[in-house]
Amino acid sequence: MDIATIRSQIPTTKNVVYLNTGWSGPSPQAVVDAIGRMLAFENAEGPTSRPVLDRHREVKGEARAAFAHFVGARAEEITLTDNTTRGINIVLNGLRWQPGDEIVTDNLEHGSGLVPSYHLRRRHGVAVRIVKLAAADSEADILQKLEDAITPRTRLLLLSHIMYSTGLRLPLGEVQRMAHRRGARVLVDAAQSPGQVPLDMRALDSDYYAGPAHKWVLGPDGVGFLYVRRELLPELDPAEVSGHAALRYDQEGDFEPVTDSPEKFELTTMSIPLLAGAIEAIRFLQEVGMEAVQARWQALTERLRQDLAAIPGVAVTSPAAGPTASGLVTFVPSGWEPRDLVDALWRRDRIVARAVNYPPGVRASVDFFNNEEDLDRLVGALRALVQSGPPE
């Protein structure tokens, strides 16, 4: 698909300069249509009529298979969730912790990784060790710092594949293989990676990988997935359960739990229209091709970094082009509070970006559907705003 065709299918691109896929990506029209068709079908036939129930079962299977294919896993390894944070919680609250067990994480994590870890520390006495990573770290630096933090009590590393604030991308396969050699497993906060980079759970030696459909996958809010390697499913206890977690139960107390199915973590009713939308979003990305997606944001971000570097008073805080860089480009505009600059970009030029807190800055998410004109609009607006400074 050429870029004009891609943009013609994503309505947001006609109306605004959208540089916030890292928060929530704009959906292709086909995604919105798939959701609408499923809602209309449910409502026309009746939500529990035979044809609707049959279609619901099929769509759940198709969604599991679609996520599995998209990340290089088997359908029996995919739990359907509502977002990344749910998947992180399923794993953290499903492992059998002993006081004194340790988690290794880092200072660049999102609250969705840190807060559940701190919560675990309060509930189970798990120690949380925080490694200090920086955007300028090389792949070797990252590996070394993480390995140095591992002790014989370390059971789990909790790491983002791509850090939300600076866009730092980890050498995930090497990190996971190193952790396994040291006797630890790895839970990946994959909020920013599916749909941004090609993924293969087997090649990466993944244990647990939790992601959303609503960011770089360009699907709807409210759908996500959790990958758990097949062999690890039995030892992960669901903290919340429904009938899906019972192989057998009766009204007199008999209960045999499911052990090795990813469906044991799923509760009851979920939105089938939203799943239909997520399936369509994955189809769209697969048609474009994940290698092409990655090559395009790489080229666009290289151009953007150069243009930003040429603006006096703007300092880029993301990694330089290379294996640790991603489609997230963050910068500090001198004289401006990041939040105020984000507001000014919207008011002046309908540019959608976001402010991040740690380290502080303005983050532009550059995705394959963006074009050079989007970047020129951002650079032009920034030049003018940094020169004029914030309003009195």
Distance CA 136, CA 133 (A): 9
Cβ-contact 368, 293 below 8 angstroms:
yes
Minimum CB–partner distance for residue 276 and ligand PLP (Å): 19
The residue among 26 and 212 lying less far from ligand PLP, judged by its C-beta, is 212
Minimum CB–partner distance for residue 41 and ligand PLP (Å): 27
Minimum CB–partner distance for residue 212 and ligand PLP (Å): 3
Cβ-contact 226, 87 below 8 angstroms:
yes
The residue among 70 and 386 lying less far from ligand PLP, judged by its C-beta, is 70
E strands, 322-366, in order: 328-333, 351-352, 354-356, 361-365
Backbone angles phi, psi at 162, to 5 degrees: -130, 125
The residue among 88 and 272 lying less far from ligand PLP, judged by its C-beta, is 88
The binding site for ligand PLP (CB under 6 A) comprises 23, 83-85, 110, 112, 160, 164, 189, 191-192, 212, 224
CA-based nearest residue to 177, from 168, 189, 169, 186? 186
Minimum CB–partner distance for residue 360 and ligand PLP (Å): 16
The residue among 116 and 333 lying less far from ligand PLP, judged by its C-beta, is 116
Distance CA 228, CA 218 (A): 23
Cβ-contact 216, 196 below 8 angstroms:
yes
Q: Which two tokens stand for residue 132?
A: 């200090």
Q: Which two tokens stand for residue 215?
A: 């960011």
The residue among 64 and 354 lying less far from ligand PLP, judged by its C-beta, is 354
Minimum CB–partner distance for residue 239 and ligand PLP (Å): 17
